[in-house]
């Protein structure tokens, strides 16, 4: 857990600060990660981060990331960073429930990013995927965003894909498993395609 704050009050988007914990394997390779939301207030905010250690974890990288957006001064602040490694406390923690099914995002010719959400994070997460079956490959390097005690958003990036190619996938969070879904990577530059754009117009329904 960590206490975070920014210089400005809520509603003023300026500096951004958040904490991130990366689980590192034997050779220093990232196995998974968890991070908290950006602190959006000048009041000190407590941001807890809870996750299971992936098998093979040998080190933790604890990062406080501050990004200034307006001037040369970075007024993001952090204090009282505490890291604890302990067995889950009784009563036994229930397995996560997948509360939002996978959503595809950032479609590329050679990669695909997908997100899903669970109501807890006391489990290991993975994506099973392949060209024709979900049993061909497994990706366990998942980054989790903890929104609050019951909302965890998981992000995975499948790489090394071929353009204009169909793949099948499913996500796992502990014992919770989704059905198999499919997607197709983005077309080559010379391939014609159709795209639709839309946005949130808020109250401007006449625009």
Does the reported pTM lie above 0.85? yes
Residue 101 has pLDDT above 90, yes or no: yes
Asked whether residue 92 carries a pLDDT value surpassing 60, the answer given is: no
pLDDT in tens, 174-183: 999 999 999 9
Helices (H), 3-125: none
pLDDT, tens only, 104-115: 999 999 999 999
Q: What is the pLDDT of residue 111?
A: 98
Tell me the C-alpha to C-alpha distance, in Å, between residue 121 and each of 32, 80, 174, 179, 192.
12, 23, 9, 20, 42
Omega prior to 200 cis, within 30 of 0: no
Per-residue confidence at 124, pLDDT binned at 50, 70, 90?
very high
Beta strands in 71-133, from DSSP E residues, in sequence order: 77-79, 98-105, 111-118, 125-130
Q: What is the per-residue pLDDT for 49?
A: 92
Torsion (CA) 145, 179, 113, 190 in degrees, nearest 10: -170
Instruction: Note whether 164 and 185 are within 8 A (CB).
Output: yes
């Amino acid at each position: 857990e960590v206490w975070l704050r920014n210089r400005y009050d809520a509603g003023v988007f300026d500096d951004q600060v958040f904490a991130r914990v990366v689980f590192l394997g034997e050779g220093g390779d990232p196995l998974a990660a968890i991070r908290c939301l950006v602190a959006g207030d000048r009041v000190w905010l407590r941001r807890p981060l809870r996750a299971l250690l992936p098998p093979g974890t040998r080190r933790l990288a604890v990062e406080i990331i501050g990004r200034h957006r307006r001037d040369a001064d970075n007024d993001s602040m952090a204090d009282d960073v505490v890291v604890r490694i302990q067995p889950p406390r009784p009563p036994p923690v229930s397995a996560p429930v997948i509360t939002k099914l996978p959503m595809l995002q950032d479609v590329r010719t050679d990669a695909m990013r997908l997100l899903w959400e669970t109501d807890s994070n006391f489990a290991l997460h993975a994506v099973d995927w392949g060209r024709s079956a979900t049993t061909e490959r497994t990706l366990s390097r998942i980054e989790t965003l903890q929104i609050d005690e019951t909302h965890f958003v998981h992000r995975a990036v499948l790489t090394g894909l071929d353009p204009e190619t169909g793949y099948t996938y499913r996500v796992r969070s502990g014992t919770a498993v989704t059905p198999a879904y499919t997607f197709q990577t983005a077309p080559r530059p010379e391939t014609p395609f159709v795209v639709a754009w839309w946005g949130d117009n808020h109250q401007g329904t006449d625009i």
